Amino acid sequence: MAILQPNKQYSITKSFFLYFILLLLLSTIDINAQIYQVYVTAESDDLVQLVSFDAASNKGWVDITIPVGKLPTETDGPHGLTISPNKKHWFVTIAHGNPYGYLAKYSTENNELMGTVNLGLFPASMEISNYTGLLYVVNFNLHGVMEPSSMMVVDPETMDLIAELPTGIMPHGTRMNSKGTKAYHVSMMNDELIEVDTYGLDITRTLSLKVSMIDDSAHEKHNTETTQDLVAELKAMDGSGGRMSWMKEMNASKPANEEKHSSMTYHRPLVKPTWVDTHPNDQWVYVAGNGSDEIIEIDVENWSISRRMPTGKLPYNLEVSPNGKYLVSSLKGAGATSIIDLEHGVELARIPNSRRVSHGVTISPDSKYAFISVEGVGGEPGSVDIICIETQELITFVETGKQAGGISFFTTLK
Amino acid sequence: MENISFGKIFLSHAKILRIMNVKVLSFFCFFVIITPYFLQAQESQIRLLNQPLELRVNERVQLEAEVLSADGVVLADTVVFFSRARRSLVVSRDGELLAIKPGVHIISAMTLGPDRIRQDFEVNVLFPPITYVEWEQAEHTFYSGTLLDLMFEIRDSLDVVRSVDELFISSSDESILSVNDFNQLSLNDVGSANLTVIAGTEKFSWPVKVLENKATALTMKLTNPSSEPIKTGDVVHFSTHVEDRKRNILAYMPVQYSFIAYPNDKLGQGNSAQIAQDGRFVASHAGKYSIIARSGAIQTIMNITVQPRNIRRSLEVVGKGIVPDVKTSDLWVWEGVDGSDYAITGTWGARGEAFLWDVTDPSNIHTIDTVKVDARTVNDVKVSEDGRIAVITREGASSRKNGIIILDVTNPSETTILSEYTDGLTGGVHNTFIYENHVYAVNNGRKYDIINIEDPRNPYTVGVFELDTPGHSIHDVWIEDGIAYSSNWGDGVVAVDVGLNHSSDMPGANGSPANPTPLGSYTYPSGWNHAAFPFKSESTGKFYVAAGDEAFPYGLDTQGPNRAAGWVHFIEFDGWDNPKEVARYQVPGAGSHNYWIENDIMYAAFYNGGLRVVDVSGDLMGDLYEQGREIALFLPTDPNAAIPNSTFTWGPQPYKGLIFLSDWNSGIWAVKLGALQN
């Protein structure tokens, strides 16, 4: 046990003084120095990378590269990424498994794998509710026959699967309201926005996003098979709602591109929504209309579409800035990033990305910077493009593994 | 550090302060402050009202739970349930519990919200009672002084096969017969007694009459004699008759086989041979062996000499095509319509390219064309039998629509894309096979689609095959005589009739490409089944499927040298219903990948173990590597390779007296077997 010695007091006082001087000197050098860090997946390289951006020097770099996946000579496809509210863990969805994908949990301290839990086919986007503490993830299941999929609920502490909720076809883009009481996602092939009660673990509302339905939402339900109708049908077909029973395909002679069940037919999607995010004030939800080249604003209380804002080609992901002023979306088809002024509903800028196939968006908590993952094509590396929201400029980009995808803001270092 | 005795700490307050620094005090204060909070939190609990939970298989119960505060007050919180063993016990979040498999399983109950609490509860699903026990040897004749391994068929009320370990086996008179810990029946003396089995509350009993053992002689003989000397790896079959004084053969007389080894190498050599209790013997090492057959108190011995197999041959490099910047995946070599020889290789984790090579002069392998598609990995490449059509697979397409690309390789120097087919195949195709105008495409690791390519510009899917086991998965498919052999990781090898033809040695089930019909399967515990190659042994006429593993227990470094694990399993199929795993080929320190069997020779890629050429002629039993059946070994390396000076061999193909192989690290190679080296 160390015991303070009287003759050391002078040296400690001296040390404090020296530290104080040093701190003063540092503060005069660069008092605004700030490093922003994001985690990003490389879907075709089976990597997750921690990318840093120094706002003082406008330089970015890859800090750490973490290999993920279980099948070394195959592409496992890390897709979605989220970080726990306490910042102690990051979670990544791995699209391909045997054959189901899974969720993997890593420590942010040492980036070591802490646990996995099997999910459904091509699990994608997710978020942890700060209300229930549970993680909500949708199984995108974008390959093969278009069929209803599911949202899975996981206890992120123990990595246990707690519940599985049937949902629409190709669900994507899970995001919470600020309280964590509602989880929103979209069904790409049903053209729907879906609201899940995170506490009751049930779908509470669905909303058709089709243009023709804006003024006649009552009519639409008679003509279009909604997610809730599909869910009801599935429940009727199989009381347990378990994935194996209703995801299983017959080894039938029917071509794969034929619809298997007449009761499960779906209308050709028009909006093809791919992402959703909530406004910090919880009054609005914003959806990327990937098929209709627009951002759709939904009034949460009235559960109706309040605005449609045209964008460039194929908006894919989006995020509302924490200050609620801006909406930043990736334009997958245009290879660009769009910044929209939410008050006026106008696009302020459309900034070309560093390469083709723009993917994910995350914004720093101070609403200053947007970090865009850009996939690239073929052997090209992916990238994280760093855009200053205020000046609407691409400041720099950091090359990552191939097909950069899921991206999540981690922390700010001063 | 000062040495302080425990007693001194209590001498005075001042002394305590002297020896405890500020940190210790801070911790103490912190714990004093937070302990009440912890205690309070720990006192909140979920109480399950159904305790204790004991169910039968298929029984349902509605769970009832309540949340109690620290003061024991019932709170209005919602409790949700989930199972920690979803395949054994299903529970809805509202608590409807269904028992599926026997055993002790865990369910969790949890409140929701920021201060959620969670508790685990044990559920005991009772094993169904054993209701059927058949002693398979009950009708045998029993002789005093002999020993036999007891064999039972045991089933429970749900018709599930149960283990002999669950039985209590006893004798009514141990002077007549007794049972030891290995479930062996000792027939001790002439007389009658009952063999009794107790399974739970059920009791089964059989009368056993033990006759006088009149055996006087054992006659052992070789049933597969050869004019050739016995060599290591040769499976020698012994059979033994037990006879009485009048030379009558005594039926059901148990015989145990063993051997004494006198290996040539006496320097601590191990594992020199093995013998099965049906009389099959194989030696791994040369030497003299005394084969012993014993029945009761009498025995006979036959001495045999086993010589080294002496099949080692050299391998010489004929040519190579080094790929310097990307990793090479699969290959296919074929004779083009112009009579020249060509090869196509895929690439892994790169730019979506397939390379076409002229290998007519194997000492001058050179690229003649490159096909580039929107993908990161072109894992598999196959060419049709007529040499006109090639199919390459795609993974990592930027559009996430992967599928296959069909190429016209009539003139491989000017390869053209005929069509891109992604219908239902967008998730990625890892392997394919072309057979009778159909492409069998492994779809998203989940199933295989069967695609008609009679018009290669307009392919269309005609059938799909998918297993229905939980968490099923598929890696590869290979077609022989109208039977598709797929490799399915944990589900093992699955044979499917996709249009059996007359040259097949195995029975079919009226399948077709539009109606793929399962025939049989074989699984093994590791779950590493990655490839399958069916073959009929030319020397024995027996039908085998060589089922290969893929495993990376040491991880995979995409930028450097690697090691793999796993081996090739040899499964003998005598009809579809009773497959038996009879042998293996396992290379120490390396792992199997792709392989090819032709004329009773296996050409196997063993990743860091390079190319192995293996004699698989004759009966197969035990570890072929140990038996000296390896004919040749080649470790391709090149200083200019994508991973320099490191071997990671992907796949071989014997072709026109040469062996072509692709190596992940370096590209394509042509090698030739040389002279005997013994």
Does A25 score more than 70 pLDDT? no
At residue B590, φ and ψ (nearest 5 deg) are -140, 175
Residue B230 near residue B236 (C-beta atoms within 8 A): yes
Domain total of chain A:
1
Is B149 found in the same domain as B20? no
Residues in chain A: 414
Does B106 score more than 50 pLDDT? yes
**Residues of chain B above pLDDT 70, percent:** 93
Mean pLDDT of B440-463: 96
State the residue range of the domain holding A193. Answer: 35-246+265-413
Residue B191 token pair: 């007389």
Kindly report the nearest CA distance between residue B201 and chain A, in angstroms: 35
Which of B24, B446, B461 lies nearest to residue A257, judging by beta carbons? B461
Residue A259 and residue A264: Cα distance in Å, rounded?
8
- Bridge partner list, B235: B282
Mean pLDDT of A276-290: 98
Per-residue pLDDT, B504: 86
Per-residue pLDDT, B220: 97
pLDDT tens per residue, range B294-308: 999 999 999 999 999
Which of B82, B326, B398 lies nearest to residue A357, judging by beta carbons? B398
Q: Which of B211, B236, B260 is the last residue before a domain boundary?
A: B211
Task: Spell out which residues of chain A touch residue B23, defining contact as CB-CB under 8 Å.
Answer: none
Does A256 score more than 70 pLDDT? no
Window 487-506 of B, Cβ < 8 Å to A: 489-490
Residue B301 near residue B317 (C-beta atoms within 8 A): no
pLDDT tens per residue, range B378-400: 999 999 999 999 999 999 999 88
**What is the bridge-based pairing of β-strands B341-348 and B353-358?**
antiparallel
Q: Which of B126, B150, B170 is the last residue before a domain boundary?
A: B126
The CATH number for B629's domain is 2.130.10.10
pLDDT tens per residue, range A66-86: 999 988 888 899 999 999 999
Q: Which of B110, B126, B142 is the last residue before a domain boundary?
A: B126
Task: Spell out which residues of chain B touch residue A383, defining contact as CB-CB under 8 Å.
Answer: none
Domain total of chain B:
5
Residue A200 and residue A181: Cα distance in Å, rounded?
9
Residue A377 and residue B394: Cα distance in Å, rounded?
13
pTM of this prediction? Answer: 0.84
Q: Do A74 and B472 touch (CB under 8 A)?
A: no
H-helix or E-strand spanning residue B273: strand B273-275
Is B272 found in the same domain as B336? no
Q: Which of A231, A230, A178, A224 is nearest to A202 (CA)?
A: A231
Residue B677 near residue B311 (C-beta atoms within 8 A): no
Kindly report the nearest CA distance between residue B649 and chain A, in angstroms: 13
Is B20 found in the same domain as B138? no
In a domain, B198, yes or no: yes
In a domain, A234, yes or no: yes
ipTM of the complex: 0.78
Report the Cα B534 to chain-centroid distance in Å.
16
Task: Spell out which residues of chain B touch residue A402, defining contact as CB-CB under 8 Å.
Answer: 349, 376, 396
Per-residue pLDDT, B266: 84
Q: Do A161 and B82 touch (CB under 8 A)?
A: yes
Averaged pLDDT of chain A: 84
Residue with tokens 């800035």: A321
**Residues of chain A above pLDDT 90, percent:** 70
Residue B231 and residue A259: Cα distance in Å, rounded?
60
Closest residue of chain A to B498, computed from CA coordinates: A253
Q: Name the amino acid, one letter, at A41.
A: T
Is B400 found in the same domain as B259? no
Residue A371 near residue A350 (C-beta atoms within 8 A): no
Does A247 score more than 90 pLDDT? no
Residue B388 token pair: 């006109």
A226 pLDDT band, cuts 50/70/90, is low
- DSSP one-letter code for A354: S
In a domain, B1, yes or no: no
Residue B127 token pair: 């094993």
Q: How many CA atoms lie within 13 A of B220 on its CB side?
A: 23
Q: Do B489 and A98 touch (CB under 8 A)?
A: yes
In a domain, B595, yes or no: yes
Which of A133, A255, A402 lies nearest to residue B116, judging by beta carbons? A133
Q: Do A100 and B471 touch (CB under 8 A)?
A: yes
Mean pLDDT of B243-258: 95
Q: Do A143 and B349 touch (CB under 8 A)?
A: no
Q: Which of A44, A400, A384 is nearest to B351 (CA)?
A: A44
In a domain, A175, yes or no: yes
What is the number of CB-based contacts under 8 A between chain A and chain B?
A: 175
Name the more confident of A224 and B595: B595
Find the largest Cα–Cα distance for chain B. 104
Task: Spell out which residues of chain A touch residue B427, defining contact as CB-CB under 8 Å.
Answer: 96, 122, 142-144
The CATH number for A54's domain is 2.130.10.10
- Bridge partner list, A182: A197
Does A9 score more than 60 pLDDT? no
Is B207 found in the same domain as B112? no
pLDDT tens per residue, range B29-67: 455 454 444 444 456 899 999 888 999 999 999 999 999
Is B456 found in the same domain as B403? yes
In a domain, B447, yes or no: yes
* Torsion, Cα of B671, B676, B677, B678 (10° steps): 150
Q: Do A4 and B514 touch (CB under 8 A)?
A: no
- Bridge partner list, B302: B291
Task: Spell out which residues of chain A touch residue B375, defining contact as CB-CB under 8 Å.
Answer: 378
State the residue range of the domain holding B391. Answer: 313-676
Is B399 found in the same domain as B296? no
In a domain, A9, yes or no: no
Residue with tokens 């003084």: A17
Q: Name the amino acid, one letter, at B258.
A: S
Is B273 found in the same domain as B147? no
Residue A107 token pair: 């420590």
pLDDT tens per residue, range B261-276: 999 988 888 779 999 9
Q: Do B464 and A252 touch (CB under 8 A)?
A: yes
Residue with tokens 């990597």: A47
E-strand spans in A243-381? 273-278, 284-289, 294-299, 304-310, 315-320, 326-331, 336-341, 346-352, 358-363, 369-374
Interface with A, mutate which of B82, B115, B377 (most A CBs under 10 A):
B82
Is B122 found in the same domain as B137? no
Q: Do B116 and A132 touch (CB under 8 A)?
A: yes
CB atoms within 10 A of CB B406: 23
Per-residue pLDDT, A274: 97
Residue A146 and residue B242: Cα distance in Å, rounded?
68
The CATH number for B203's domain is 2.60.40.1080
Least confident span in A15-19, A133-137, A408-412? A15-19
CB atoms within 10 A of CB B551: 17
Closest residue of chain B to A146, computed from CA coordinates: B424
- DSSP one-letter code for B25: H
Residue A31 near residue A409 (C-beta atoms within 8 A): no
A260 pLDDT band, cuts 50/70/90, is very low
Is B642 found in the same domain as B580? yes
pLDDT tens per residue, range B519-560: 999 999 999 999 999 999 999 999 999 999 999 999 888 889
B221 interfacial to chain A (CB closer than 8 Å) = no
DSSP codes joined into one string, B282-302: EESS-EEEEEEEEETTEEEEE
The three-class DSSP label of residue B184 is strand
Report the Cα B545 to chain-centroid distance in Å.
13
Mean pLDDT of B614-624: 98
Per-residue pLDDT, A262: 35
Residue B307 and residue B636: Cα distance in Å, rounded?
31
Residue B27 and residue A1: Cα distance in Å, rounded?
15
**What is the bridge-based pairing of β-strands A294-299 and A304-310?**
antiparallel
**Residues of chain B above pLDDT 90, percent:** 82
The three-class DSSP label of residue B322 is strand
H-helix or E-strand spanning residue B572: strand B568-573
Residue B377 near residue B395 (C-beta atoms within 8 A): yes
Mean pLDDT of B445-450: 95
Mean pLDDT of A284-297: 97
Residue with tokens 């985690």: A39
The three-class DSSP label of residue B186 is strand
Where b means 16+ CB within 10 Å and e means fewer, A281-292 reads eebbbbbbbbbb
Residue B194 and residue B138: Cα distance in Å, rounded?
11
Is B299 found in the same domain as B178? no
In a domain, B467, yes or no: yes
Q: Which of A318, A317, A323, A319 is nearest to A280 (CA)?
A: A323
Q: What angle do CA A128, A134, A139 make, to 5 degrees?
A: 75
pLDDT tens per residue, range A308-322: 999 999 999 999 999
Is B485 found in the same domain as B351? yes
Per-residue pLDDT, A243: 33
Does B23 score more than 70 pLDDT? no
